[in-house]
Amino acid sequence: MPPSSKLPENSARGKTRSIFERITQQGAIDLANEQEENIYLFVPNLIGYLRIVFAALAVYCMKNHPKVCAVLYCISAILDVADGMAARAFNQTSKLGGVLDMVTDRCSTTCLMVFLSSAYPDWFNVFQFLIALDFSSHFIHMYASLVTGATSHKLIQSEVSKILWLYYNNRITLFIFCAGNEIFFVALYLVYTSKLPTLGISPEIVHAVVPALVKEQISAALLDGVSAYVAGMTLAHIVAIVSFPICFTKQIINFVQFWKASKTLVGVDLSERANNRQKKQ
């Protein structure tokens, strides 16, 4: 069993206790076996299982059926919103559901980025880094929340991080960044796999809208190259361009989440070491 993470009694930052001090692992398993309340069948958890099915089907279709994959992937993501609404409506929030959502999100996004890393080999290392950052930041944040006794990893105080507080405590903000992040990767996937109709922007239109001052600063070959690229753009290209800033900001949030959780665990370690020294005196 993990060591106690009780903070000193004179701590100015609260006197929370670790969840591990309230119940042992064997005690938790005994309660689960008794099944006084079947949390497995909570409505939001049932939706969570359905999310896994859609995500698995999306991964299965990823190589050969891009449009079907994109639809299934988006349905799985939309159900993430639905299970949260169900949890609040039926008063059926649970740690199982919270972790299930996070694991489903991490696994489905990772599968998509693994595909993208092979589709865009020049960006292979970038996708590897994003996968590592996504997993590590959420794992360490979840663990830090548990050892400090938080009832949910989304309960962030503004004193801890204003960025994370704004991210987790506003459902609209949380939805925008989570959705925008996934939409960007799905758009990149469709750019590579789907032969969507172009937007019909001719090279002549591009030449006409580019200011003369800009034309003077770039070569004719570069302008022709840009014009040809724009002429071949599809709706997926536009979605990727629009959602990129959201996705980029989401990676910054992931980094902040990793850093703050790391500092939290360092604080817990210092508290435990101080308690151990007091016990030895």
Residue 22 CB-density burial (10 A; 0-12 exposed, 13-18 middle, 19+ buried): exposed
Residue 187 has pLDDT above 80, yes or no: yes
In a domain, residue 1? The reply is: no
Assess if residue 14 is contained within a domain: no
What's the average model confidence in pLDDT over 222-250?
90
**Least confident residue range of 20-29, 197-206, 239-248:** 20-29
Residue 112 has pLDDT above 90, yes or no: yes
Higher pLDDT, 5 or 114: 114
Q: Is the pLDDT of residue 220 over 60?
A: yes
Res 185: pLDDT: 98
| Residue (of 126, 158, 76, 157) closest to 244 by Cα position | 126
**Nearest by Cα to 134 from 164, 103, 168:** 103
122 catalytic, yes or no? no
User: Quick one: pLDDT at residue 209?
Assistant: 78
What sign does the CA torsion over 194, 196, 202, 207 have?
negative
Per the residue annotation, which of 83, 101, 105, 134 is the catalytic one?
105
More confident residue, 182 or 281: 182
SS3 (DSSP) at 234: strand
In a domain, 174, yes or no: yes
Closest CA to 98 of 89, 112, 113, 88: 88
pLDDT value at position 72? 97
**In a domain? residue 221:** no
Let me know if residue 2 belongs to a domain: no
The Cα 65–Cα 143 span in angstroms is 37
> 146 vs 28, which has greater pLDDT?
146
> pLDDT band at residue 22, thresholds of 50, 70 and 90?
low
pLDDT band at 164, cuts 50/70/90?
Answer: very high
Give me the percent of the chain exceeding a pLDDT of 70.
Answer: 91
| 169 domain residue, yes or no | yes
Helices 171-193 & 95-119 angle (0-180, nearest 10): 30
Domain ranges, residue 89: 20-197+234-270
Helix axes 95-119, 124-147, angle to 10 degrees: 170
Q: Give the model confidence (pLDDT) of 51-96 as tens digits.
A: 999 999 999 999 999 999 999 999 999 999 999 899 989 999 888 9
pLDDT band at 18 (very low <50, low <70, confident <90, very high): very low
| Band (8; pLDDT cuts 50, 70, 90) | very low
Closest CA relative to residue 157, chosen from 148, 115, 66? 148
Amino acid 228: pLDDT: 81
- The confidence band for 122, taking pLDDT boundaries of 50, 70 and 90, is very high
Residue whose entry in the numeric block shows the structure tokens 């459902």: 171
Helices (H), the chain: 19-22, 25-34, 43-61, 66-89, 95-119, 124-147, 162-168, 171-193, 203-209, 212-217, 220-231, 235-280
Domain count for the chain: 1
Mean pLDDT across 143-162: 84
281 inside domain? no
Q: Categorize the per-residue pLDDT at 203 as very low, low, confident or very high, splitting at 50, 70 and 90.
A: confident
Mean pLDDT taken over the chain: 86
**Comparison of pLDDT for 148 and 109, the residue scoring more:** 109
Q: Is residue 278 part of a domain?
A: no
pLDDT above 90 coverage of the chain, percent: 59
CATH number where 104 lies? 1.20.120
Look at residue 211 in the predicted model and tell me its pLDDT: 82
pLDDT at 273 over 60: yes
pTM over 0.85: no
